[in-house]
Chains A and B, each alone.
Chain A
Amino acid sequence: MDWSRQGGAVVSPARLIDGRAARVVLVANRTNPKGAMIVLADSATAQNAFPLSSALDSIHPNDAVDILCMQERIFGPTALEAPDVP
């Protein structure tokens, strides 16, 4: 995935299993149900934004790991090294 910072959020474009384009938006750690959101790219309305936990069936395992590890490294309480995100 191709992560970048936008204000306090960390975002990346993503491709869902069914081929739809989306954006992943990370704003808080994993204890916050809305800390990682999937936003469908065709219409960025509230109806097209889902918490990661309810969109897992649409996401490839590689991407799920990438998203959750990035969330932990940026916002998590564990001693993981934060990556350089432009």
Chain B
Amino acid sequence: MTAPYHTIDHLIEDIVTLPSLPSAVAELNETLSEPDCSLSDIGEVVSSDPAIAMKALRLVNSAYYGLGNEIGSVEQAVNLLGPKVIKNLVLTASVFESLGRAAEGLLRHSVTTGLAMSAIIEHGGSAAGIDADEGFIFGLLHDVGIIIFHEFLPKEHERAVQMARAGEKPLHLAEIETIGVSHADAGARLASTWKLSDRLANAIAGHHDLGGCPVTEHRPLAAMLHVAEYLSAQAGFEPLPKIVTDTDPEIWAEAGINSRDIPTLLATFFESIDDTEELVALAA
């Protein structure tokens, strides 16, 4: 069967209009790259987008951040948390803003994959060069390609979903057959378009097939993201109803995780699950 679209470029140029990331993220990146940027400059940029500022405040006061004392203003958050945490916070708030169109089940899967990725990073995955907050963003965005397909190619994607449900092939391969590219390809392109880090885009690209990750040093992150998605699905948060998430046995070695690590890693993940509904509500 010939796929109707042959390349990601064709898909992006002719079929899909990728959502744009709130301008606060780009402006914040620009401000942070200036050597003489001050905390008040950062506060000003975040406050310039009221929707993102409000979401960032809800997020920083959520149980997920667990700060204890309520933070009432952007300025207070910037002074208390510092530029790096604020950057992750604004990006996370912006991603939640962009995920608002996702079906609730997929949103729950994305949030719990983020929580699982944070747990993996916390338990030894930090060697991959990201911290737990950044790991949460990796998980939050890993299936954003599915949201794009739902919006622009719903019939073609439904055919792929039916193939996966019938057990004919995994979802990402069924997408390649019916659409021409997988949700991992589309999600990686979105991350690049949003000028997010290469390691995030590459990890999304390889999260179902490590061969899809174009940079060897980013493959452990792609493998960790795959494991995080598996943990989310096994905990009952499948990306789509009745879609089985399989794992390739080699993934574990690439992610640097063995069976002995799993009880403590899962305990951290399970303990964070109670944050899910509060985080899902941030996308609404």
Determine if B249 and A73 form an interchain contact, defined as CB atoms under 8 angstroms apart: no
The SS class assigned to the A binding surface is helix
Q: Which of A56, A60, A76, A81 contacts B263 (CB 8 A)?
A: A56
Closest B-chain residue to A76, C-beta based?
A: B270
Bound Cα distance A61, B253 (Å): 10
Query: Chain A contacts of B63 at CB under 8 A?
Result: none
Determine if B273 and A79 form an interchain contact, defined as CB atoms under 8 angstroms apart: yes
Q: Looking at the assembled complex, report how far the CB atom of B11 sits from the nearest CB atom of chain A, in whole angstroms.
A: 32
Query: Chain B contacts of A66 at CB under 8 A?
Result: 234
A27 on the B face (CB < 8 A): no
Determine if A57 and B259 form an interchain contact, defined as CB atoms under 8 angstroms apart: yes
Bound Cα distance A66, B245 (Å): 12
Query: Chain B contacts of A52 at CB under 8 A?
Result: 263
Of the listed residues A65, A66, A81, the one surrounded by the most CB atoms of chain B closer than 10 A to its CB is: A65
B197 on the A face (CB < 8 A): no
Within A55-70, the residues touching B (CB, 8 Å) are: 56-57, 59-62, 64-66, 68-69
Q: Looking at the assembled complex, report how far the CB atom of A38 sits from the nearest CB atom of chain B, in whole angstroms.
A: 12
Within B201-245, the residues touching A (CB, 8 Å) are: 230-231, 234-236
Q: Looking at the assembled complex, report how far the CB atom of A34 sits from the nearest CB atom of chain B, in whole angstroms.
A: 14
Closest A-chain residue to B112, C-beta based?
A: A80
Query: Chain B contacts of A73 at CB under 8 A?
Result: 235-236
Bound Cα distance A53, B149 (Å): 42
Query: Chain A contacts of B259 at CB under 8 A?
Result: 56-57, 59-61, 64
Closest B-chain residue to A65, C-beta based?
A: B234
Query: Chain B contacts of A80 at CB under 8 A?
Result: 235-236, 270, 273
Within B243-284, the residues touching A (CB, 8 Å) are: 247, 249, 252, 257-260, 262-263, 266-267, 270-271, 273-274
Given contact pairs A52-B263, A53-B263, A69-B236, enumerate 7 new A-B contacts (beta carbons under 8 Å): A61-B257, A61-B259, A62-B247, A62-B249, A65-B262, A76-B270, A80-B270
Closest 10 CB pairs of A and B: A69-B234, A56-B259, A61-B252, A64-B259, A64-B262, A81-B236, A61-B259, A68-B266, A78-B270, A78-B273
Q: List 20 A-B contacts (CB under 8 A).
A: A56-B260, A56-B263, A59-B259, A60-B249, A61-B258, A62-B247, A62-B249, A62-B252, A68-B262, A69-B231, A69-B236, A69-B266, A72-B235, A73-B236, A78-B271, A78-B274, A79-B273, A80-B235, A81-B236, A83-B236
Residues on B close to A: CB < 8 A? 230-231, 234-236, 247, 249, 252, 257-260, 262-263, 266-267, 270-271, 273-274
Residues on A close to B: CB < 8 A? 30, 52-53, 56-57, 59-62, 64-66, 68-69, 72-73, 76, 78-81, 83
